[in-house]
Amino acid sequence: RTVYVNGDYLPEDQATVSVFDRGFLMADGVYEVVSVLDGKLLDFAGHLARLQRSLEALAIANPLSDEDYLQAHRELVRLNAITDGLVYLQVTRGNPGDRDFAYPPEDTRPTVVMFTQSKPGLADQPAAKTGWKIASVEDLRWGRRDIKTVQLLYPSMAKMEAKARGCDDAWLVEDGKVTEGSSNNAYIVKDGVIVTRELSHDILHGITRAAILRLAREAQMKIEERGFTIAEAQAADEAFVTSASAFVMPVVQIDGAALGDGTPGPVARRLREIYLEESR
Ligand code: PDD
């Protein structure tokens, strides 16, 4: 695999970054994941706009132009012959000197890394036909989840907890309400109304979420942006999650309770279909 590091395209075993980089020492950096279908980048402008917001929130100067990112994404897709898959992009603060809690000087060059992950048949994930089982886990993340930082230890712990309970993913719960999934936004559907948590510092502002809500509105579906409890979700007709890598993934079980007839619901299936149709 050829990867991108600070302007160079290198074989992955020759790509290196400093052990003093604050991304490595302090999770001081942000990332984006863009999916590739039939060689095409999905929602690319949205991901770049969020990257910019994440960088500004952490006072990291964006080292590249949007055109540079686009060109690098296209080059990696070409060099690695990606038809379906993902491009991972990470910008960390870098660090010219020693370990220190204070940020390094403003002219420090951020570290930019990009790599591809090939996932043939990404849009036809078998899991989309059977749906995911969800385990609820307390949300113990920090208070700025709208910044897409590389600080992913707690989501990883939540995912492992869900797997240990025989589930596919975790829904994180804070003050009795679901915030989001470990790496996706969470939705329920009851009596034809799609319910998903409102945007705030409590959740990541999903790029797929924005696209799905737009498509749902265009299809005259009703939407309520508010938090919901696990009990409300268990009593819903259906549920699903959205992300760049899962698109729209139906949820069929929450903490052992089957939703509806225990198979992917019609709203999730329809939204997945129209999202993928529009993306191709
Ligand atoms: N995760 N919420 C969280 C906590 C996420 O990590 C993600 C994305 C989302 C969905 O955002 P989007 O629709 O823009 O992908 C919501 C990516 C895919 C990841 O970490 O791999």
Q: What is the CATH classification number for the domain harbouring 259?
A: 3.20.10.10
- Give the pLDDT of residue 91: 98
Provide the token pair at 63: 């080292």
Tens digit of each residue's pLDDT, the chain (280 residues): 999 999 999 999 999 999 999 999 999 999 999 999 999 999 999 999 999 999 999 999 999 999 999 999 999 999 999 999 999 999 999 999 899 999 999 999 999 999 999 999 999 999 999 999 999 999 999 999 999 999 999 999 999 999 999 999 999 999 999 999 999 999 999 999 999 999 999 999 999 999 999 999 999 999 999 999 999 999 999 999 999 999 999 999 999 999 999 999 999 999 999 999 998 8
Q: Which domain holds residue 52?
A: 2-120
- Same-domain check for residues 216 and 105: no
- The ipTM (two decimal places) reads 0.99
Ligand 1: which of 30, 151, 200, 204 to mutate, judged by most atoms within 8 Å of the beta carbon?
A: 204
- Give the pLDDT of residue 90: 98
Span between the terminal Cα atoms of the chain, in Å: 25
What is the C-alpha to C-alpha distance for residues 246 and 210, in angstroms, rounded to an integer?
15
Alpha-carbon dihedral of residues 243, 161, 152, 173, nearest 10 degrees? Answer: 70
DSSP symbol at 94: -
Nearest CA to ligand 1 atom 9: 184
- Same-domain check for residues 108 and 131: no
Q: Which atom of ligand 1 is nearest to the CA of 43?
A: 14
Residue (of 183, 155, 148) closest to 55 by Cα position = 148
The single residue listed with the structure tokens 């559907």 is 189
Provide the token pair at 235: 């009593």
- Give the pLDDT of residue 199: 98
253 in ligand 1 pocket by Cβ < 6 Å?
no
- Give the pLDDT of residue 280: 82
What is the C-alpha to C-alpha distance for residues 94 and 112, in angstroms, rounded to an integer?
9
- Same-domain check for residues 133 and 115: no
- Same-domain check for residues 53 and 89: yes
33 in ligand 1 pocket by Cβ < 6 Å?
yes
Which CATH number characterizes residue 100's domain? 3.30.470.10
272 in ligand 1 pocket by Cβ < 6 Å?
no
Residue (of 73, 115, 77, 110) closest to 95 by Cα position = 110
- Same-domain check for residues 161 and 271: yes
Q: Is the pTM of this model over 0.95?
A: yes
- Give the pLDDT of residue 65: 98
94 in ligand 1 pocket by Cβ < 6 Å?
no
- Give the pLDDT of residue 249: 98
Nearest CA to ligand 1 atom 20: 183
Q: What share of the chain is helix, strand, coil (3-state, %, to 5)?
A: 30, 30, 40
CA of 249 to the centre of ligand 1 (A): 13
Nearest CA to ligand 1 atom 16: 184
- Same-domain check for residues 138 and 110: no
Please spell the DSSP secondary structure of 223-251, one letter per residue.
EEES---HHHHHTSSEEEEEETTTEEEEE
Our answer to whether residue 159 is catalytic in this structure is no
Q: Which of 40, 119, 133, 148 is catalytic?
A: 148
- Same-domain check for residues 139 and 230: yes
